[in-house]
Structure 1
């Protein structure tokens, strides 16, 4: 049996792509190493995804946004703080739709909604408990061999299996991988203070802090620290952890109470040298693994799968080959153009606000104040964050 499209990885990017391609006369195999039960009921993983207007539009087109809207928390502003300075650089979205920068939605809820949508697609078959062992691509097609001995053949193979993609490696596509030696701790915190629907980012000495506004007096707390320090914080008892969080957030939100499980993620940044190859393409984190500070990793992944689906379906509608070189090259060129400026700008921002050299310490407050004095630039960044 041969499929038209084989997608490896049933995370948000892979699930979105399967939904985007479904209903157009193509046969799609979605391969995932997790069990069917894990896909049906993904557990809370601490991550809250900041969705832009463009991403919400894509999810609405996939018929999953109505299910997610009930859990979404609207975000009106974002502000950036440096150390103990009271000065804040504030971004809004100008004339944004509904006056919002975007919405915060739990990652596990997005995965659940996308999986339910895939289940309604008769042209998508899901292969669970399966792990890639080898891939072979040639002009005539692609083959995926699984560790259990099975083989799948198709006209296009898509890697959607994380920023440390095994399929990317098997395809011979190199990537720039930067292991930062830092880790990101995420959890939900209740607090006495009002977040006013504003996302706040603190660049402080030795740590980066963020509070993302959820519904009610609750926020997603994100702390990026050297790995050993993050592990120490993770291991604290509840009362000690709450006290430490209040201290680290400089008591800005008053009393803080742990409202969820805690989760720790090693921080690795990746950029693939190519997003496409013969009979193959990369989407999501397999293509670009962003630093979380600008909260655009998921949005770029969603945009990428949307772009790939558009190129593949355009070729299929014209009676062409969905895995041909032309559509894949167009996808690669357009997605690299969309990702590279934000990837480079994010890395430059992180470098400036995490270095502890005297020059960097002097430059940080100056950069924030310069941004505040340039309203056109500030509004432009707000529009970029909103991505209408």
Structure 2
């Protein structure tokens, strides 16, 4: 179990000042990315503290929040290595066989078929889908097995600052943490990032994401659909054969027009949007909404500090790469920290953190800006944009190198 109370004092000795706790690594944010990093770096034997404002009861049993997370084969491998994948019920892991993209009311589809292999291994699926609350539960359970990980739950962070010697975190309850390395994993709206003086590119799309599950009479064939309709975007993420997660993005000022519908009227609306593709439909969950804001930090590190997860990059959901990039950031940083700790080197040296930034930025920057460019085009309803949208789908479908490149991104 993770250390707490008197057990934490035994595992994490500190100076006589009971309000100052000395650690090797402090992580702010116990979301999946923060906990994944904690679990990945635990093998080093470093003393790790994770600070989280939510109570431990919420971390142990997170509520359903409507979000289904698309995972690549690489993410599966990382989660297996972190003892997370094994902690998700196999019936809650859904295979995503292939994916299709349609534009407007056109019947033409850009198709990414079921691959024969991924990451050098035979496979029968493009990727996987796991509900966000199940990933959060698995990540929390995984860190419970590490005695050198301490969770401070139910407490917020007042402020942070760093110098050449250490990072300091002042908690709202008066306690103070000193650490060799500070890691911010506190969402795309990270206050820690701001306090560290790291600027970020933040793009507010002026849209709201509405997520919910629908049952339907026609099989989804375990295929994902991205429907760039005029006025809204509708993504279909297949769970069970007759159960699909629906992700609607719509101009925020129009969101209430859907949210106020009765369950029957909402089902009829989605049926009409899909032109009966999935047959008759019924609402199978609660509705959840999220503001659509993309974020990319201008740097992924500062003095004795680093950003992981959404604090580094918060993606538009259209490419389904948000948590995949979060896992990747935790994996890269943990590898470098573990190597330094094994050699007795500084785990927060400027050269180590710069290497982390180079490796992670190489993937995130083109993907982030490319995604935002694509979204701007495919939500532009001017006549020339509609023609260009259709042309891009056809060109992408008929140029094998482009399809192969996109498929490799989807599989990881």
**TM > 0.5:** yes
2:85 matches 1:65: yes
Secondary structure of 1:164's counterpart equals: coil
The separation in 2 between residues aligned to 1:372 and 1:129, in whole angstroms, is: 50
Q: Tell me by how many angstroms 1:70 deviates.
A: 3.5
Aligned residue runs from structure 1 range 47-126, under 5 A: 47-68=67-88, 69-92=90-113, 94-96=115-117, 97-126=122-151
The separation in 1 between residues aligned to 2:114 and 2:410, in whole angstroms, is: 8
Describe the superposition over 1:2-51 as per-residue Cα deviations: whole angstroms up to 9, x where unpaired.
11000000001001011001132100000000011111110000000011
The separation in 2 between residues aligned to 1:277 and 1:24, in whole angstroms, is: 22
Do the aligned residues in 2 keep the contact of 1:163 with 1:289 (CA within 8 Å)?
Answer: yes
Do the aligned residues in 2 keep the contact of 1:23 with 1:123 (CA within 8 Å)?
Answer: no
The separation in 2 between residues aligned to 1:198 and 1:253, in whole angstroms, is: 11
Equivalence for 2:274: 249
2:57 matches 1:37: yes
2:243 matches 1:226: no
Aligned residue runs from structure 1 range 278-293, under 5 A: 278-293=303-318
Q: Tell me by how many angstroms 1:200 deviates.
A: 0.4
Q: Tell me by how many angstroms 1:248 deviates.
A: 2.3
Which deviates more, 89-98 or 16-25? 89-98
Describe the superposition over 1:186-236 as per-residue Cα deviations: whole angstroms up to 9, x where unpaired.
011111111111100000111111101102311110000011222331222
Q: Tell me by how many angstroms 1:286 deviates.
A: 0.3
Secondary structure of 2:293's counterpart equals: strand
TM-score normalised over the length of structure 1: 0.98
Secondary structure of 1:104's counterpart equals: strand
Which deviates more, 232-241 or 359-368? 232-241
2:411 matches 1:386: yes
Do the aligned residues in 2 keep the contact of 1:15 with 1:114 (CA within 8 Å)?
Answer: yes
Do the aligned residues in 1 keep the contact of 2:186 with 2:192 (CA within 8 Å)?
Answer: yes
The separation in 2 between residues aligned to 1:244 and 1:213, in whole angstroms, is: 19
The separation in 1 between residues aligned to 2:211 and 2:408, in whole angstroms, is: 26
2:160 matches 1:140: no
Equivalence for 1:266: 291
The separation in 1 between residues aligned to 2:404 and 2:298, in whole angstroms, is: 32
The separation in 1 between residues aligned to 2:197 and 2:151, in whole angstroms, is: 26
Do the aligned residues in 2 keep the contact of 1:198 with 1:212 (CA within 8 Å)?
Answer: yes
Q: Tell me by how many angstroms 1:323 deviates.
A: 1.4
Secondary structure of 1:22's counterpart equals: helix
Q: Tell me by how many angstroms 1:93 deviates.
A: 5.2
The separation in 2 between residues aligned to 1:313 and 1:231, in whole angstroms, is: 48
Describe the superposition over 1:286-315 as per-residue Cα deviations: whole angstroms up to 9, x where unpaired.
001100000001100000110000111111
Q: How many residues align?
A: 387
Give the 4+ runs in structure 1 shifted more than 4 A: none
2:37 matches 1:17: yes
The separation in 1 between residues aligned to 2:206 and 2:316, in whole angstroms, is: 13
Do the aligned residues in 2 keep the contact of 1:234 with 1:264 (CA within 8 Å)?
Answer: no
Q: Tell me by how many angstroms 1:380 deviates.
A: 2.4
The separation in 2 between residues aligned to 1:230 and 1:194, in whole angstroms, is: 28
Do the aligned residues in 2 keep the contact of 1:5 with 1:26 (CA within 8 Å)?
Answer: yes
2:401 matches 1:376: yes
The separation in 2 between residues aligned to 1:284 and 1:4, in whole angstroms, is: 20
The separation in 2 between residues aligned to 1:235 and 1:325, in whole angstroms, is: 52
Do the aligned residues in 1 keep the contact of 2:115 with 2:125 (CA within 8 Å)?
Answer: no
Do the aligned residues in 2 keep the contact of 1:81 with 1:87 (CA within 8 Å)?
Answer: yes
The separation in 2 between residues aligned to 1:99 and 1:92, in whole angstroms, is: 10
Describe the superposition over 1:116-166 as per-residue Cα deviations: whole angstroms up to 9, x where unpaired.
111111000000111111111000000001112111110000000000001
Equivalence for 2:302: 277
Secondary structure of 1:254's counterpart equals: coil
RMSD (Å), alpha carbons = 1.1
TM-score normalised over the length of structure 2: 0.92
